[in-house]
Structure 1
Amino acid sequence: MPCVQPARPEKVRGVKEESFIREGKGKLEITIEGEETLKTTIRGSLKSVEEVAEMLGVEARDGKIEAVVDGVKVRMERGKLELEFESGERMRIEKA
């Protein structure tokens, strides 16, 4: 059984929400929930679960990520990414 590795925040200091998106075909719906709810649609696709796991320095299990990295709760499965920040705001990026 592989060892569970803790998230490595030093790897994600420069990571922004755009880092999870690959330019190209497809559409993504982005929803930001805070004091107000904002929705928008952009062109592109989400990076794969494995790519995001490597980028964050966490381990993907059964094609999913559930981790806390630098105070941000990250949940991802194919075609859907959720980020919950310490401020209580949530961002959801999913295939449209």
Structure 2
Amino acid sequence: MRATTFEDGKSVPGDGGSPMYGLKLPRDLNLSNEDNIKVAIDKLTMAMSILRTAYRDLESGMRPASEQKKADGPVPAYLKNQLANYQAGLSRLTGG
């Protein structure tokens, strides 16, 4: 646990094992008043975000590399047009 490091925003165990995900939920969530409810909602929202990240990491790790999406082939026309629009806007903003 002490050798755990963080790379790209994820915990990486020092022994090279699987990443660990902590939900960071306090044991004393209290719903007795409006302020405590807001705090509890914030904590639960954060925990749900961590669960989604863990699911995405697990799901993408289960697919063989051959099945994962590859960026190859021609660029679609709509994407070329969108890039041209962004470049034109950037040029206008920078005075170029």
Structure with the greater alpha carbon radius of gyration = 2
Note whether the superposition's TM-score is higher than 0.5.
Answer: no
Structure number having the greater strand percentage? 1
Q: Relative contact order, CA 8 A, sep 6+: which one is greater? A: 1
TM-score normalised by the chain length of structure 2: 0.23
Judging by fraction of residues, say which structure has more helix. 2
